[in-house]
Structure 1
Amino acid sequence: MDRTERVTLTNMCMIKNNQKILVINRNDPTWPGLTFPGGHVEAHESFHDSVIREIKEETNLAIKKPHLVGIKQFYDDNNNRYIVFFYIATKFSGHLKASKEGELIWMTKKELQQEKLAYNFDRDLKVYFNNDIDEHLLDGKRDVLF
């Protein structure tokens, strides 16, 4: 029995500055709306290095010591596993600058929860805001938080 499968590895990072959280209003027609910045892990790149690189590319901020807080997994249209590593960063330097990915906005948690979010991102937020939850699983039949 083969125990390997095709997997897409990605990351997403909540950047906090006191009571404000950085969000991106994504232009992507596949998954538009408010979410946290992030992107794909490149071949032979560590998850840690990938989130630092992606945040720099999408926001121009250099985050320091991102902390892994959870994961999300689901299956894409080709039935390949898709894993998102969720990070939080509270230390960063640089000047905020949007990329082609979308507009960047600082919001409070309350403001964020009242906005139109990217599909199913409200479920992802539970992983970020609840220390008792560290995984969001979508498998076509279930939408479960562990």
Structure 2
Amino acid sequence: MDRTERVTLTNMCMITANHQILVLDRKDPTWPGLTFPGGHVEAHESFHDAVVREVKEETNLTITDPRLCGLKQFYDDQNQRYLVFFYIATKFQGTVKSSPEGNLTWMTQEELLTHQLAENFDRDLLVYFDQTRQEHLLDGERDEPF
């Protein structure tokens, strides 16, 4: 029995400072709305290095000591597994600069929840904000953080 499958590996990072969260308003028409910076893990790249690189590319910030806090998994339109590793970073250097991915804004958690979020991102936030949850599973029949 083959125990391997094709998997897309990605990350997303909630950056916080002074009770505010750095939010990305994505321009991508396939997943528009507010979310956190992040992107794909490249071949032979560690998950840590990938989240540091993606945050730098999308925000101009260099994060240190990002903490893995959970994950999301679902199957894409080609029925291949898609994993998103969720990180939190509180230490960084640099000045925020928007990228072609979208505009960046600092918001409180309360402000974030009143804006147009990317699809299913409200469920992702449960993993970030509720330390008893570690995973968001989307599989067609289920859409639940646990």
Query: Secondary structure of 1:103's partner?
Result: strand
The Cα shift of 1:144 comes to: 1.9
Question: What is the CA deviation profile of residues 86-129 of structure 1, one whole-angstrom value per residue up to 9, with x for unaligned ones?
Answer: 00000000011111000000000000011110000000000000
User: Residue type matched to 2:108 in 1?
Assistant: T
Q: For residue 81 of structure 1, what is the amino acid of its counterpart? A: R
SS of corresponding position for 2:45: coil
Number of residue pairs the alignment of both structures matches: 146
- Is it true that 1:75 corresponds to 2:58 in the alignment? no
Correspondence for 1:140: 140
- The AA in structure 2 aligned to 1:12 is M
Gaps of 5+ in 1: none
Contact conserved, 2:9 with 2:84, CA < 8 A, in 1? Answer: yes
Aligned positions of 1:2-81 closer than 5 A: 2-81=2-81
C-alpha distance in 1, partners of 2:100/2:113?
24
- Find the aligned partners of 2:97 and 2:120 in 1 and give their Cα distance: 26
Q: Structure 1: how far apart are the matches of 2:77 and 2:67?
A: 30
CA distance in 2, matches of 1:28, 1:4: 31
Residue equivalent to 1:108: 108
So what's the TM-score if we normalise by structure 2? 0.99
Query: RMSD value over aligned CA atoms?
Result: 0.5
Which 5+ residue runs of structure 2 have no aligned equivalent?
A: none
Identical pairs, percent: 71
Under a length normalisation based on structure 1, what TM-score does the superposition of the two structures give? 0.99
Residues 12 and 51 in structure 2, CA contact (< 8 A), matched pair in contact too: yes
Instruction: Report runs of 4+ in structure 1 exceeding 3 Å deviation.
Output: none
Query: How far apart, CA to CA, are the structure 2 residues paired with 1:6 and 1:29?
Result: 25
